[in-house]
Amino acid sequence: MQAQVERLMAEMTLAEKIGQLNLLAAGEGLVTGAAQSTPLARRLDSGEVGAIFGTKSLASARAMQERALEGSRLRIPLFFAEDVIHGHRTVFPLPVALACSWDLDLVEDTAAFAAAEAASEGIHQVYAPMIDVSRDPRWGRIAESPGEDPLLASRFAVAATRGFQGGGIGEPDRVAACLKHFVAYGAPDSGRDYDNASLSWEDLLAIYLPPFTAGLQAGAASVMAAFNAVNKLPMHANAPLIQGWLRGTSGFNGLVVSDYTGVKELTPHGLGPAAVVVARALHAGIDMDMVGEDYLAELPALAETGLDAPEAGLSFGASRIREMIDTACRRVLTFKASLGLLDDPFHGMSGTAAPSRSDGRKLARRAAARSTVLLKNDNVLPIAQSTRVALVGPFARDRRNMLGTWAVSGNWDDVVPLDAAITALTGTAPATAWGVNITDRDWLAARLNVHGVTVETDPRSEDELIAEALDAARQSDIIIAALGEAKEHAGESSSALSPALPEAHLRLVRALKATGKPVAAIVFAGRPLALGDLPETADALLYAWHGGIAGPEGVADLLFGAAAPSGRLCVTLPAHPGETPVSHAEEPTGRPFPGRFAKFRTGWLDMPDGLTRYPFGFGLGYAPIRYGAPSLSSTVADVSQKVLLRLTIENTGQTEAIETVQLYASDPVARITRPARFLVDFKQLTLSPGEARELVFEIRADQFAYPVAPSLESAEWVRDPGLVQLHVGPNSRDTDTVELTWSS
């Protein structure tokens, strides 16, 4: 394979090498006939494109490949990429939802199905998984994130990478994964998308880089740079992190691509004019320039004259520029060789059958049920199928929003809405009413003018809508309230100052509760929302996210007992929208927060009492689970030993249960302030009614290593002897503790 690459490199002109670094969007330039002349077509004809993303059919991909081969003197093929964030044609739950399953086999299965669908349409690379750890619900792209914890995100990265790539990216039903966004894109200073991240090197190394380490170790073939700056240096020019940590420390020699116009955006970041930022990006290790075409425009001259820019602290000779072009081009060609494209330019385009859509729907339905988190249940759920149900709220009949953000190849017509899902499951149609319009949020109308209205509007007043909902409620035995936010309220460029359930929805539930009928509330959303008094008002509460094409069907399965709730939060649900950023791994202070405002203690003066914060890892089932007392095989151990933590888990209920047992740790005495508790392991098991099982966790000293980093280059991972505390339980808050002492 490498011999092929070197043979091509020896024959290529400088212009041909630079052309390989140009990554363009299909857009309006889809080539369906030789007579067409579009900007993209002209680039293909002149051999100035290395890859294309955004193709929407196998036919268009084949047509572009044919045209590219005709325009390439050496017949170097394109590769094709697409955003396959949470499914391709079959849209699965949002990544933040899927991570709430804590089911790594499920994550791998959904990625493998998405890969097969994408590959059947000629796609070779997917811009996924997105593995940005995020602890700020204000940030819109938390919808695409695996949540707030680096260990869970790392295992998500491994499972998704394996699902996408299988045994190799050249297999006919697999694609190349692209880990994104490198790095700390989920840690913006303000919660605003694209904003910069200023954080300690210890946090970068311990929180935001581990998922990338895990994905690389799983064999991920490519990485995408992030839009943000990290500690003042934009990632598209961040040589210390890309060339230093990614290429050097981690040993990654695969493909690094820019994000959409990411190289061009270095200029408004303040790093200089086009020629300067192109040199900086190439030097930092960005192999391909997406859409901006700055490489194409600037590199020919730079390769002839070099760059001397003392105002930017840069000086590169022409020979050095040509060396960097060669290095990047070699990586692009090696990537294509790994895909099998140098042997067969139409590899993956020979009509490989797409996987069964019916199988995909079954998987999507199971994923939706496993991703939904039961937060409260006062003996209301599951509902008997003969029960008279009133279904109210703006998402009772909704299809459009169920796909969520970044479902670029999905079709909302594939969604079975909640009212139809309940009817199909029970054989009886529920009494339905809107009850409230989602546009009741004051600022929402303006946003929808930008994004396009996706929730049906109603000219009636809120009082009239609630009156209709109450009429339906009075005819029922139980009320199901379908609440939440539109899909545009989360995702790229969709950050929010107040990530909270709209007040109009809370008013609706209060009015429904006043009927005396039990109320089961369902929240469909793309981000973790502060729920106000909903946890206290509703009798049952499900957090269903935006669950994909079968999201409402998965919810219906849970409501009526066709599936058992097993989801556990991968993010903390804040008690108040201002309680952000927030996570289970908050660091202790000298004046600890007691859970409410107290003089001379960490806290908020204006935090109302009585609001519920749902902790990371929280989730209920229909069967009660009894945790036995944990015990250790040894309470004092040498660092070379493995200590076993044992406990018994018992299902004391009458139905099958899926339980996720979580193990956290604390390091009470360390060289720096450490998290009050951090996740070190988890295990998921299925228990039959009455079944008890012993669970064993293996504890190793290296699980307690942490970085001390005056700078990135001087970072040292250390582990201290002495006491550690181990906390085991069903979530990050409700745990039993045992203590272990490591000798030197």
Give residue for tokens 């097969």: 116
For residue 742, report the phi and psi dihedrals to the nearest 5 degrees: -90, 130
Terminal alpha carbon distance of the chain: 48
Q: How far apart are CA 165 and CA 125, in angstroms?
A: 10
| Alpha carbon separation from 671 to 95, 163, 706 (Å, rounded) | 35, 39, 10
Amino acid at 594: P
Note whether 194 and 228 are within 8 A (CB).
Answer: yes
Residues 6+ apart with CB under 8 A from 509: 481, 483, 519, 521, 534, 537, 538
| H or E segment and range at residue 741 | strand 736-742
Q: How far apart are CA 704 and CA 472, in angstroms?
A: 56
DSSP conformational letter for 621? -
Note whether 716 and 623 are within 8 A (CB).
Answer: no
Amino acid at 144: E
3-state DSSP of 282-307? HHHCCCEEECCCHHHHHHHHHHHHCE
Give residue for tokens 């044992």: 646
Angle, alpha carbons 215-212-107 (nearest 5°): 45
3-state DSSP of 641-662? CCEEEEEEEEECCCCCEEEEEE
Q: How far apart are CA 666 and CA 175, in angstroms?
A: 40
Any catalytic annotation for residue 533?
A: no
Q: Among residues 83, 149, 173, 259, which one is catalytic?
A: 259
Q: Which of the residues are catalytic?
A: 259
